Every structure is written in structure tokens, then in C-alpha cells.
Amino acid sequence: MLDIAAIGKRFDGRAVLGSISLRIGAGEYVAVVGESGVGKSTLLNIIAGLEPADSGTVSFLDTEISALDDDARTVLRRENFGFVFQAFHVLPHLTVQQNVGLPLLLRGFEANDIERKARQTISAVGLGGRENSMPRELSGGELQRVAIARALVGEPKLVLADEPTGNLDQENARQVLALLRDQVKAHGAAGILVTHSEAAAATCDRRYRLTSAGLSPL
């Protein structure tokens, strides 16, 4: 499904990613562990086609992402990728249901289908009954559940999670990590979790450490 081949990236002459290769199939949930500044987020951005690599290729469903133009990459992301970030990125002026349904709205789904799918996904992440709540009424753990629901509502084939528990306390982090894994698996998606935490990485099927020397199995 996802094939990363010899990806390299430099900033100001400094190698950030050096010949990174990784293959991930449908239903696999993989962790990339590394310290801050080692290039974890850069790797996710390259996979998503948000940032170019200096060398190597990323192929998704046998399509080389870097060979696509901007419009085609946007369509690929919108229809196939789900994103979960540390900072939630929940829109404060929209309700929970509106936030979760937003990816479907952007893809042109009918209003009834958006409502049905959003409600189903909100319930799946344990927020049933909070559909009309505003983000300011939710805890940090609940906001991240909204973000996970939004990432999964369109049934993506690939979920990219960038330090999704970085702003949460230990108990909420544990719950969110379990929820994220269970939902990725339930949807049959491939998933990549990038984190500095080996405890978070332990929830994944395979674990790798990213350093300046490259990517190595844990």
C-alpha cells in the first residue's frame, strides 16, 4: 500500500533524513520513534505530499506521489488520507458534528450522508451525545477524540498521526492511543504514528527508531 524508498532530505546543507525506506500494508499500524528535531514530522509531510524529498520516492497504491501535480496530490490526500495532530486543529466556531463532517463536506457528500457518517464516527470514538457541543466545552482528551473521528470519518486508507498525545495527561494519552489503534484497525487502514514516546509506540504492530543515521527496527 505505502512504499517509501530511499527518501532523503536536507535543510541548509544538513541531512535531516538519510535514505529512509519503509513498506506498510493495509491493516498495519507502525510507529516511528525519535527525539524532537530528528525529522519525524518532515517524514510525514513527505509521505503526505506536503513537502518534497530531495531524493527517493513515496508510492501509495502504486502511484508515485511526487510525480503528481498539486491538484492531484490534494485529491489523493482528501480521498485517502486521515491526519491526527498534537494540537488537535479542531475549528472553534464549529460544533463537534460539523468538525467531524468537514472532510465529507469538502468531498461533496450529501448533507444526510454527512450527518449519518459523522454521528456514527462520533459514537465510535465515545462521544455520542456530544454532537452539538462546541470545542470550548470539551476537555483535551475529548478534543483529540474529535480529531480522530474527523480523520476517520471518510474511511481513509492511510492514517498519519503526529505526536497525537503530546498535549494530554497520562490517562487521556493511554485512552487516545488505544482508541486510535482500535479505530485504524477497525477501518482496515494503514497507520503511521510518529512519537518521542516508546510507551506510545508500544501500541503499534511494528516500531522503528529514527535518528540521523536512518531508520532502524526496535
Which residues lie across from 192 on neighbouring strands? 30, 160
Query: Which residue in the block uniquely carries the three cell numbers 508500544?
Result: 202
Residues 165 and 2 sit within 8 Å (Cβ to Cβ): no
pLDDT (0 to 100) of residue 166: 82
What is the grid cell recorded at 104? 465529507
pLDDT (0 to 100) of residue 170: 87
pLDDT (0 to 100) of residue 50: 92
pLDDT (0 to 100) of residue 187: 85
Structural domains in the chain plus CATH codes: 2-217 (3.40.50.300)
**Mean pLDDT in runs of 10 for the chain (218 residues)?**
94 88 95 92 94 95 93 93 87 97 95 96 93 95 92 93 86 88 89 93 95 90
Kindly state the DSSP code that residue 85 receives in the 8-state scheme: E
pLDDT (0 to 100) of residue 65: 94
pLDDT (0 to 100) of residue 36: 87
How far, in Å, are 93, 131, 132, 149, 157 from residue 128 at the CA level? 20, 7, 10, 11, 24
CA–CA–CA angle 158, 183, 194 (5° rounding):
55
Task: Please tell me the number of Cα atoms within 13 Å of 187 on its side-chain side.
Answer: 27
What is the grid cell recorded at 11? 535543510
- Could you report the per-residue pLDDT of 151-161, keeping only the tens digit for each? 999 999 999 99
Kindly report whether the global pTM for this prediction surpasses the value 0.85: yes
Q: Are strands 81-85 and 158-162 parallel, antiparallel or unpaired?
A: parallel
Q: Are strands 55-60 and 2-11 parallel, antiparallel or unpaired?
A: antiparallel
Of 16, 15, 20, nearest to 30 (Cα)? 20
How far, in Å, are 2, 41, 51, 71, 81 from residue 58 at the CA level? 7, 15, 11, 17, 14
What is the grid cell recorded at 160? 498519519
Write the burial class of residue 80 (CB in 10 Å: 0-12 exposed, 13-18 middle, 19+ buried). Answer: middle
What is the grid cell recorded at 130? 456530544
pLDDT (0 to 100) of residue 7: 95
